Amino acid sequence: MDQRDNTSHSRNAGAFREGFKDGIPIGLGYFAVAFALGVAARSAGLSPLQGFAASILCLASAGEYAGFTVIAAAAPLYEMALISFIINARYLLMSTAVSQKLSSDTHPVHRFGIAYFITDEIFAIETRQKGYLNPFYTYGAGAFAAPMWAAGTALGILVGNMMPVRLVSALSVALFGMFLAVIIPPARKERVILVLIPASFAASYAFSRLPYLRDLSSGNRIILLTVILSGAAAILFPHPSDEDAGTEAGEEAV
C-alpha cells in the first residue's frame, strides 16, 4: 500500500468516525420514534423480525407508517408502492442536493450507498459538511442511525402495547429535540439560515391552512415548500462562487 492509499484510508476512517459521532443523537431520536411506529406495525400483524426488516429497508417514518396502514387494510401491493412513492417523493430533492456535494469521480457504488441513507436528519448533517461530501461520513452516520431505527421498531412490536399510550406518543418528541440540535448551530453562524427557519415554520403553517394547498399530501407540501423557499433564498442570498470567495479573502488579507 503506497502513501496515497494510506492517506485515503486515513481520510475515510476519519470521516466515518465523524459521521458516527454525529449519527448518535440521530439514532437515539430514531429509536424513540420507531418505538411508537412499532405499535402501528404490531396492529398491522407484523412480527418483531418483520418489523425490523421493514425498517432496515425503509428509513422513512411517514412512508413506513403508510405501508403498515396499507398492510392492515389488506390493500394490494401496487397501492402500497404508489403511496410510499408519493409520501417519500421529497427524497428526490434531497438526493439531487446531495449529489451536488459529491466529487465528480465518486464511484457509483458510493452514490447508491449514500442514497440508501438519505433521511431528513442525515441530509441535514450532510449539507453542513464543508467542501465535497465524503461517502464514509454518511456511512458512519447511518451505521448507528439505521440499526437504531430498525431496533426501535422491533422493540415497539414486542413491548409497545404494554406501555401507556401517552408515554409511547411522548417518545416522538425526542425527534423534534434532535432536529433543534441540527438546525440551531448553523443558524447561529449564518444569517440566511436564521431567516429561513422561521420563514419555513410560517410557510408550513400557512400551507396547512390555505385552501387547495391544505388538501395536498404532507410530502407534496414539503416538496413545494422546499422549491419555493430554496429558490427564494438562492435569488435573494446567492452563494458566492469560488472565484468571488477567493477575491474577498484576498482583499481582506490586504
Residue 183 in any domain: the answer is no
pLDDT value, residue 2? 57
- For cell 402495547, the residue is 161
Residue 224 in any domain: the answer is yes
**Residue 234 sits in which domain range?**
190-254
pLDDT value, residue 252? 42
Residues 25 and 89 in one domain: yes
Residues 105 and 230 in one domain: no
Residues 99 and 213 in one domain: no
Query: Which residue among 121, 153, 177 closes a domain?
Result: 177
pLDDT value, residue 4? 64
pTM passes above 0.85: no
Residues 148 and 96 in one domain: yes
Query: CA 83, CA 78: separation in Å to the nearest integer?
Result: 9
Residues 168 and 200 in one domain: no
What is the count of structural domains for the chain? Answer: 2
200 grid coordinates: 419555513
pLDDT value, residue 239? 62
pLDDT value, residue 179? 63
Residues 80 and 129 in one domain: yes
pLDDT value, residue 173? 63
Residue 197 in any domain: the answer is yes
pLDDT value, residue 227? 80
pLDDT value, residue 150? 95
Residues 194 and 142 in one domain: no
Chunked into runs of 10 residues, the chain (254 residues) has average pLDDT values of 70 93 90 83 89 91 82 82 80 88 91 92 88 94 95 88 66 62 72 84 89 78 79 77 47 43
Residues 112 and 220 in one domain: no
Q: Is 29 exposed, middle or buried (0-12, 13-18, 19+ CB in 10 A)?
A: buried
Residues 126 and 22 in one domain: yes
